[in-house]
Structure 1
Amino acid sequence: MSFPKKYKTLINNTFSEREYSITPIRYEDRFKIMQWRNEQLYHLRQAKPLTEEDQEFYFTNVVTKLFEKEQPDQLLFSYLKNEECIGYGGLVHINWIDKNAEISFIMDTKLEKNEFEMQWGIYLELIEQVAFKELKLHKLFVYAFDLRPHLYQAIEKKCYKKEAALKEHCLFEKQYIDVIIHRKINPWN
């Protein structure tokens, strides 16, 4: 199978900062991504662990179609350090009319303990290049279960402001938890 490498909706497809970059999600990274998602299931909107068959189906039947759309509902990227995939994410739930999107990002589970804030900071710089400069979106937001307060610290350092707390919004381990939403308006508008 020939997997696409460029999104039709983007002029630039790779965005770099020092040795880090984001590039359209690579087929070769699919099983690393599956592993990280399964390891970090507790903070994702994913009901059960993924299988290799699930991941293959998703890449073949969902992800490949995103590359050819003028206005896909999501743009997914492999997050690289010196060309090695250490995370992935993108712009999801893109609203082309209102010009906003949710930010999605997970990193290699091994990096979470010591590099969480640094990796989030670099990733946000890169994904903002896509969203604000390339696509001219008006607003980005992070929707997060209230399980990782260190996430708020990392994104607030990059000028994301707490916009809302949806009280008891999600059922997690038989208990209702809040969802916290942070946002950033395009500073280049």
Structure 2
Amino acid sequence: MDREYRVLNKQVFTKDHFQIVPIRNMDQLDIMKWRNEQIYHLRQNKPLTELDQSHYFTRTIANLFNQEKPNQILFSYVENGKCLGYGGLVHINWVDRNAEISFIMDTQLEKEYFSHHWFTYLSLIEEVAFKELQLHKIYVYAFDLRPHLYTVLEHNGFIKEAELKEHCYFNDAYKSVIIHSKWNKL
């Protein structure tokens, strides 16, 4: 393992053959590629370069590991050591005990395995959020572009909490944002 998050007692979370582990430097180019391929549904306004990604990993991500209350905790999502995606808890609000869920997977897996990987990832990130960090609420903030995501979220106990009409300007059009939330019942 590259490194460990100070805020977490447990670093590796496992379900079947899948794990989330503290984000690995070795995955940064794959992550950049997937982000650039899927820019249409991300809050990213231009394609990333290798230099952008390198700076992000050295200037932002590297500093997260020793913080008592980082604003994000990112993981590589792996199967048998191979990175299939990445994500984590972002925009963490330690006072109100909530965080946004972030996740993207290898673009080639989306068509056939989208639901499977989202289901698996959600169970892993919920363990981090609810059991490890004792957060009260987690949520997904998504441009209204992928209704198949909402089905997965709702099957995992997330509730559509809000729709922000024409909230973001992207590709010369205003897009609504859908927020699905889940509360800690532990």
- TM class by smaller structure: over 0.9
TM (norm. structure 2) is: 0.99
For residues 41 and 175 of structure 2, the distance between their equivalents in structure 1, rounded to whole angstroms, comes to 11
For residues 146 and 120 of structure 1, the distance between their equivalents in structure 2, rounded to whole angstroms, comes to 17
Counterpart of 2:113 in structure 1 is 115
Counterpart of 1:20 in structure 2 is 18
- 1:78 paired residue among 71, 76, 79: 76
TM (norm. structure 1) is: 0.97
Counterpart of 2:39 in structure 1 is 41
Identity %: 59
Counterpart of 1:106 in structure 2 is 104
Paired residues for 1:79-94 under 5 Å = 79-94=77-92
For residues 82 and 4 of structure 1, the distance between their equivalents in structure 2, rounded to whole angstroms, comes to 16
Amino acid in structure 1 at the alignment position of 2:93 = N
For the 8 Å contact 1:87–1:106, the answer to whether it is kept is: yes
- Please, which runs of 5 or more residues in structure 1 have no aligned partner? none
Amino acid in structure 2 at the alignment position of 1:69 = Q
SS in 2 for 1:32: helix
For residues 43 and 105 of structure 1, the distance between their equivalents in structure 2, rounded to whole angstroms, comes to 11
For residues 21 and 114 of structure 2, the distance between their equivalents in structure 1, rounded to whole angstroms, comes to 20
SS in 2 for 1:87: strand
- Please, which runs of 5 or more residues in structure 2 have no aligned partner? none
Counterpart of 1:60 in structure 2 is 58
Amino acid in structure 2 at the alignment position of 1:74 = Q
Amino acid in structure 1 at the alignment position of 2:168 = C
CA RMSD of aligned residues (A): 0.9
